[in-house]
Chains A and B, each alone.
Chain A
Amino acid sequence: GQQVMQIPQYQHVQEGEDFTTYCNSSTTLSNIQWYKQRPGGHPVFLIQLVKSGEVKKQKRLTFQFGEAKKNSSLHITATQTTDVGTYFCARYNNNDMRFGAGTRLTVKP
């Protein structure tokens, strides 16, 4: 199945700075999910986007689904040390579930 490309692979920010990770696909997606994995932990579901152009917010996190449903982004405003971890996008299409490689976020206090 088609993979989802996720960039950047790593991001190091100063606490209080913003952070964005992007997920891109060459094919149209039926939906996209975002997960967070803390160091030493397991992936935890954050949100699912289904509609073209959809934007959802969870406190300081903003999730977007592209108009063409081929890309998505996760933006964190004013990062905190609790945001540390790896953020994965995941797509389900035609009985095929695939995770992106993830973006590892580190935050310097």
Chain B
Amino acid sequence: NAGVTQTPKFQVLKTGQSMTLQCAQDMNHNSMYWYRQDPGMGLRLIYYSASEGTTDKGEVPNGYNVSRLNKREFSLRLESAAPSQTSVYFCASSEWDRNNSPLHFGNGTRLTVT
């Protein structure tokens, strides 16, 4: 049981390049999320998918797009990377996006944009 798997673990991009972060969960969860973590700011929600077929903006969506490919997979795309997007990115999933349903996190992707 792998839980939440995200790839890659590390990535370096030049300004203007694009990339897609991949995320898959094997817990049959309905809801999936992308967060970014920056020093002193905790985790901030970029986008989420409450259920298969839906996506919604979170707190910091600018510069990102997402795709809920199926129930298992939720990808995050940076179309034109900027230095401000240097961060650690976490994918997470939960059974539901409500109540006390906890989030289960992947191991994170450290992205550096030069």
Decide whether A and B assemble into one complex. no
Interface residue ranges, B against A (CB under 8 Å): none
Interface residue ranges, A against B (CB under 8 Å): none
